[in-house]
């Protein structure tokens, strides 16, 4: 008998094959089947792995394969229906970012997974990067002093998405990292942007977030930049940390540099800012593929019943900020107050479950 965890991957486009490769490399996992509406993409993956079964229809995959878990890497418009069907079929679910198209969909999935005792994890890959984890650890330790601001730039000549704008496509990465570092959700969201190429689909956006502790964050996302930029800066009152994803090894640098206002001065002529130029250092960080770490976390949560690092609630927090950003975009960048029910970040186990979710699986095309 094969005791390995049986996994099916849905979506064999750009990202799905990376998930197949990583799950396939885990000793306790058997990638049993893949699914894609597009026969060409399906064949592309089937040719690379022996023993894999292929399906063009997700319902067939669920009916014919004895799977423990389903991994969903399709465009966001299909996330909710596919994940809901998988949860109703009692499969653990790893759902790519952005989790769904609305917060209502996310809440339904979280409640359904809780009700059925299933793992629901969201693919916020960057939180599984050792370098990003180190950045978050340093920010939280207070080593930077008080945070003055955060800036995240994710720019390149983009893989244009048809169903979502650049904020919904790229900002989930920035938002998941920033909210983990600040350990809170914002209280106000602003977003401005332009649709330059596809009418109605913004390909460049500037998002700004204000947090309860007065930390201010800006996020720039673009599919139009000729150069690729993946940089995240946390400026503190004592030090600054810069993460550069494109650096092959030394992704994190800490600058012991700051500027202070002198406490007092007698005349305007005496006034001088106090600049401090100290050392810059690079922490040693163990290299490993973030996506592999994510896949390992999913498997371990299924095996132990523990909560994923990127649980449904975190996916929901990101979607709620994106909804506020969309509202602000419609409103020429106006401030959208961001309310939530509880004062600090919740996890899936804090979610109350609606009894109605025990019911039958809704029918509809997948
Ligand atoms: N975590 C990350 O770092 C990361 C990186 C890239 C993409 N993603 C996410 O992965 C998802 C997929 O992105 P992509 O760039 O691979 O898209 P893609 O368009 O390249 O591939 C999606 C595939 O899903 C298939 N598909 C669509 N609906 C389907 C359905 N109902 N049943 C079966 N197959 C279906 C399509 O035929 C296509 O082959 C998106 O949610 C995206 O945001 C995550």
Q: Does residue 146 have a pLDDT over 90?
A: yes
pLDDT computed for residue 270 by the predictor: 66
Tens of pLDDT, residue by residue over 89-120, are 999 999 999 999 999 999 999 999 999 999 99
Taking 90 as the threshold, does the pLDDT of residue 320 lie above it?
yes
Residue 12 near residue 309, CB atoms below 8 Å? no
Say if residue 335's pLDDT is above 50.
Answer: yes
Q: Which atom of ligand 1 is nearest to the CA of 35?
A: 33
Condensed to tens digits (0 to 9), the pLDDT of residues 18-46 reads 999 999 999 999 999 999 999 999 999 99
Asked if the domains at 5-125+291-310+346-358 and 127-290 fall in one CATH topology, the answer is no
pLDDT of residue 231: 98
- Given this model, what pLDDT does residue 365 score? 59
Ligand 1 probe mutation, 74, 319, 364, most atoms within 8 A of CB: 74
Check if 366 has its Cβ closer than 6 Å to any atom of ligand 1: yes
Ligand 1 centroid from CA 133, angstroms: 26
pLDDT beyond 90 at 358? no
From the CA of 335, how far away is ligand 1's center (Å)? 32
Q: Please, which contacts does 357-362 make with residues 24 or more away whose CB atoms are closer than 8 Å? A: 357/108, 357/111, 357/112, 357/115, 358/115, 360/88, 361/84, 361/85, 361/88, 361/89, 362/84
Gap from CA of 15 to ligand 1 centroid (Å): 6
Model confidence pLDDT, tens digit, residues 173-194: 999 999 999 999 999 999 999 9
CB of 16 shorter than 6 A to ligand 1: yes
pLDDT at 1 over 50: no
At 120, give phi and psi (nearest 5°): -125, 115
Using 50, 70 and 90 to split pLDDT, how confident is the model at 261? confident
pLDDT at residue 154 greater than cutoff 60: yes
Q: Which residues are within 8 A (CB) of 68 and not within 5 positions of it... i.e. 6 or more apart?
A: 5, 6, 7, 91, 92, 302
Give 13 Cα–ligand 1 centroid separation in angstroms.
6
Structure tokens at 271: 């006034």
Ligand 1 mean position to 271 CA, how many Å?
Answer: 57
Do residues 61 and 35 touch, judged by C-beta distance below 8 A?
Answer: yes
Say what the pLDDT of residue 328 is.
97
Atom of ligand 1 nearest to the CA of 79: 41
With CA atoms as reference, report the closest residue to 217 among 172, 139, 148, 150: 150
Check whether 230 has a pLDDT greater than 50: yes
- Could you please state the CATH topology (level 3) that the domain comprising 127-290 is classified under: Dihydrodipicolinate Reductase; domain 2 (3.30.360)
Q: How far apart are CA 125 and CA 293, in angstroms?
A: 9
Q: What is the CATH number of domain 5-125+291-310+346-358?
A: 3.40.50.720
Mutate to test the pocket of ligand 1, among 8, 9, 15 (most ligand atoms within 8 A of CB): 15
Does the Cβ of 54 fall within 6 Å of ligand 1? no
Enumerate the domain spans of the chain.
Answer: 5-125+291-310+346-358, 127-290
pTM over 0.85: yes
């Amino acid at each position: 008998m094969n005791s390995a965890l049986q996994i099916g991957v849905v979506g064999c486009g750009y990202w799905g094959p990376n998930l197949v490769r990583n799950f396939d490399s885990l000793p306790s996992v058997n990638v049993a089947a893949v699914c894609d509406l597009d026969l060409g993409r399906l064949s592309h993956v089937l040719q690379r792995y022996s023993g894999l079964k292929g399906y063009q229809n997700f319902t067939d995959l669920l009916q014919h394969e004895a799977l423990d878990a389903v991994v969903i890497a399709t465009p966001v418009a299909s996330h909710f229906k596919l994940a809901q069907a998988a949860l109703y079929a009692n499969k653990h679910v790893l759902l790519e970012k952005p989790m769904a198209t609305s917060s209502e969909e996310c809440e339904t999935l979280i409640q359904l997974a809780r009700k059925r005792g299933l793992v629901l994890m969201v693919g916020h890959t960057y939180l599984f990067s050792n370098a990003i984890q180190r950045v978050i650890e340093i920010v939280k330790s207070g080593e930077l002093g008080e945070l003055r601001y955060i800036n995240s730039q994710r720019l390149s000549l983009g893989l244009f998405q048809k169903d979502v704008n650049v904020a919904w496509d790229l900002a989930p990465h920035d938002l998941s990292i920033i909210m983990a570092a600040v350990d809170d959700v914002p209280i106000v969201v602003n977003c401005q942007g332009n649709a330059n190429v596809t009418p109605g689909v913004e390909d460049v956006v500037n998002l700004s977030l204000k947090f309860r502790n007065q930390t201010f964050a800006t996020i720039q996302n673009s599919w139009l930049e000729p150069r690729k930029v993946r940089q995240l800066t946390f400026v503190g009152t004592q030090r600054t940390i810069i993460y550069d994803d494109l650096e092959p090894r030394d992704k994190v640098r800490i600058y012991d540099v700051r500027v202070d206002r002198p406490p007092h001065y007698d005349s305007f002529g005496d006034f001088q800012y106090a600049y401090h130029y100290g050392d810059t250092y690079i922490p040693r960080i163990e290299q490993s593929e973030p996506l592999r770490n994510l896949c390992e976390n999913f498997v371990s949560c299924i095996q132990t019943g523990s909560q994923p690092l990127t649980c449904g609630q975190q996916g929901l927090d990101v979607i709620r900020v994106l909804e506020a950003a969309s509202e602000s975009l419609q409103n020429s960048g106006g401030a959208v107050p961001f309310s939530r029910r509880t004062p600090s970040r919740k996890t899936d186990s804090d979610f109350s479950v609606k009894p109605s979710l025990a019911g039958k699986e809704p029918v509809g095309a997948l």
